[in-house]
Amino acid sequence: MKQVIAYYRVSTSRQGRSGLGLEAQQQAVEAHCRQNDYRLLTQIVEVRSTRKYRIGLFDALSLCRQHKAILIVARLDRLGRDVEQIAGIVKSNVEIIVADNPHANRFTIHILAAVAEEQRQRISDTTKQALHAAKKRGILLGKNGKTLSIANKKAATDFAYALFPILNRLRNRGIISVRAVSEALNKKGVPTFREGGRWHPSTVYTLMNRLK
């Protein structure tokens, strides 16, 4: 029986006290352990509001080396959102399992981290350009801008849930990776959230994150 050590991360002390986000991570990891007959040695919960310091993560990696155990996380972004940091973890001597993408290996974990970082940067750049253009047109930003942002986010989330049955059918057929899902959605002619667009691994990754 393989031994695993779970690492969970929540972003703020408030989330840590309330269990917001933590319970879902624990359920995903524990379910994966049951399905694969892994022995969960211990669980490390890190509460941080910054990306720079991950003392709990380094403790978890140290314990894995000590016990010759595997590090397991619920989602890739729990390891971090910086591709260089994730690359460093992947290059360590510790095997890593991502519960929501169990077929990912060291190479694909690195690729997915790079795709996620590129997607965040693209969204950030697009938002900055849109805000700059709005200011040039004399549009007052503030409460109305926040309201519009919330409405857009809700619309994107509603769209993701509408596609859940299709994603579930693909999963049942063994189509799990973001690349395979994007190819299947394009083949079926499933429209993207932005009209006229095509599915890419990065947009599928974003879609799946909205469903979580």
15-49 tens-digit pLDDT: 444 444 788 889 999 999 999 999 999 999 988 64
176 CB burial (10 A radius; 0-12, 13-18, 19+): middle
Can you tell me the mean pLDDT for 181-200? 78
Q: Which amino acid is at 68?
A: K
Whole-prediction pTM: 0.52
The mean pLDDT value for 4-12 works out to: 86
The alpha-carbon radius of gyration of the chain (Å, integer) is 19
Write down the pLDDT at residue 29: 93
Name 6's bridge partners: 43, 72
The ranges of the chain annotated as CATH 3.40.50.1390 are 3-108
CA angle 100, 52, 150 (to 5 degrees): 60
| Per-residue pLDDT at 181 exceeds 60 | yes
Q: Is residue 10 over pLDDT 50?
A: yes
Which pLDDT score, from 0 to 100, does residue 19 have?
Answer: 45
The residues, any chain, with a CB within 8 Å of residue 22's CB and separated by 6 or more, are 8, 10, 15, 16, 45
pLDDT per position as a tens digit, 62-112: 999 999 999 999 988 787 766 666 777 777 788 889 888 888 777 677 676
Which helix H or strand E contains 85, and what residues bound it?
A: helix 83-90
- The contacts of residue 131 (CB under 8 Å, 6+ apart) are 141, 145
Task: Provide the 3-class DSSP secondary structure of residue 105.
Answer: coil
CB within 8 A of 42, min separation 6: which ones?
5, 6, 63
Topology, domain 3-108? Rossmann fold (3.40.50)
Quote the pLDDT of residue 16. 47
